Structure 1
Amino acid sequence: MKKSVLIVENDHDIRTIVELILLEQGFQTLSMPEPDDLAEIVVFRPDLILLDEFINNKPGHRLCRKIKQVPDLAGVPVIILSTANDIELIAKECDANDYIRKPFDLEDMVEKVLRFLDHQSLAL
């Protein structure tokens, strides 16, 4: 069964590239600029969430905190994506499992996702 990754990213180009790369790696993906509500995430049942820190001018770390409070999602790893200088602190405070500083190298992003999902990598 394919592992699934939810990509919540405000920037359309980044969202599309990340989704294409993860699809090439054999993941099932769902990407969106912003979820309508947490139920949408619960229904998808992702194995990992890549979460932009800035979602339509709202802080993504608030969504991360909400995700971690939902029993069906609490164990799902969340990786925060951000250009913020204090992204390490932001990720820690919202109980994200890790962070990726933008701009990022796609191979590094894939390696981080693979580490969390114990998935065998295909060459980029």
Structure 2
Amino acid sequence: MKKSVLIIENDQDIRFIVELILQEHGYDTMSIPEPDELSAIIAFSPDLILLDEFINSKPGHRLCRKIKQIPDLATVPVIILSTANDIELIAKECEANDFVRKPFEVEDMVGKVLRFIDHQPLEC
């Protein structure tokens, strides 16, 4: 069974590229600019969530906190994507599992997804 990744990203181009890259790596994906309801996330049942820190001028870390409080989603790894200088602190405060700084190297983003979904160590 394929693992699934939910991509919540404000920028349509980044959403498309990330989705394409992950599909090429064998993942099922769903990408959205912003979830209407948390029930949509639960219904997709992702193995991992890539979450933009800026979702239509709303802070993504607030959504991350909500995700981590829902029993059906609490154990789903969340990786924050952001250009914010303090992304490491933001990720820690909202209990995200990791972060990827934009602009990102494809290998870095894919490596983190692999590490959380497939429990593979990152290659240096």
Q: TM-score when scaled to structure 1? A: 0.95
Provide the rounded CA distance (Å) in 1 between the counterparts of 2:37 and 2:16: 21
Structure 1 unaligned spans of 5+: none
Residue 118 of structure 2 corresponds to residue 91 of structure 1: no
Structure 2 CA distance for aligned equivalents of residues 93 and 107 of structure 1: 25
Q: Which amino acid aligns with 1:5?
A: V
Off by >6 Å, runs of 4+ in structure 1:
none
Report the alpha carbon displacement of residue 5 of structure 1 after superposing the two structures with TM: 0.1
Deviation of 1:119 after TM superposition, in Å, equals 6.7
Question: Aligned partner of 2:66: which letter?
Answer: K
Q: Quote the Cα distance in structure 2 between the aligned partners of 1:111 and 1:99.
A: 12
State the identity as a percent: 79
Aligned residue in 1 for 2:30: 30
- Structure 2 residue aligned with 1:101: 101
The residue correspondences of 1:1-124 to structure 2 (distance < 5 A) are 1-118=1-118
Residues 35-71 of structure 1: per-residue CA shift (max 9 Å, x gap): 0010000000000000000000000000000000000
Residues of 2 paired with 1:107 and 1:80: CA distance?
Answer: 16
* CA-atom RMSD in angstroms: 1.0
Q: Which runs of 5+ in 2 are unaligned?
A: none
Deviations 1:52-96 (A, max 9, x none): 000000000000000000000000000000000000000000000
